[in-house]
Amino acid sequence: MTSLVLTVIGPDKPGLVELLSQTVAQHDGNWLQSGMSRLAGKFAGILTVQVPAEQSAALIDALSALESQGLKVIAEQGEEPEAAANQQALTLELIGHDKPGIVREISQLLAQRHINVERLATELVSGSMSAEELFKAQADLQAPTDADLDELQEALEAIASDLMVDISFKR
């Protein structure tokens, strides 16, 4: 079996997931993981599928042909994940008043410490006590086992006070 990572985008309308899943199924593919959303009027997503090696090229061609129906698909062959030896899982949650630079500041801090962002979900939500929009993020991270988590916590807290957001960090 061959693993493919697919990135999809098109105008949001009913039937896009069915069109995509039908194309995968027609090539004996198996839909494994996905994350899809309506963003700024567009349907956007990323997913992984497995397909018999001999069907891989035909599936990629069929997915490319979906552009005539408004769905752009980019396919990349997946790689076997490396074992997470010497790594530890962490979760980061953040909420605060929305302003530019929040993701940049946090991701820069993480990258400097060789911490990998495995999943990042962000959204704007309405404040419960006011009509102000709040920026909310949750990230699953992989950090080296020898990472100084106390120093990381202090650095995150320093950023939180500069950005005026609340950050919780779970080990």
CA-CA distance, 15 to 67, in Å (whole number)? 14
pLDDT score for 91? 92
CA-CA distance, 51 to 96, in Å (whole number)? 42
- pLDDT digits 0-9 by tens, 9-55: 999 999 999 999 999 999 999 999 999 999 999 999 999 999 999 99
CATH assignment, 2-77: 3.30.70.260
Radius of gyration of the chain (CA): 20
CA-CA distance, 152 to 112, in Å (whole number)? 11
pLDDT band at residue 110, thresholds of 50, 70 and 90?
Answer: very high
Tell me if the domain spanning 87-170 has CATH number 3.60.150.10: no
Model confidence, pTM: 0.76
Domain with CATH 3.30.70.260 in the chain: 2-77, 87-170
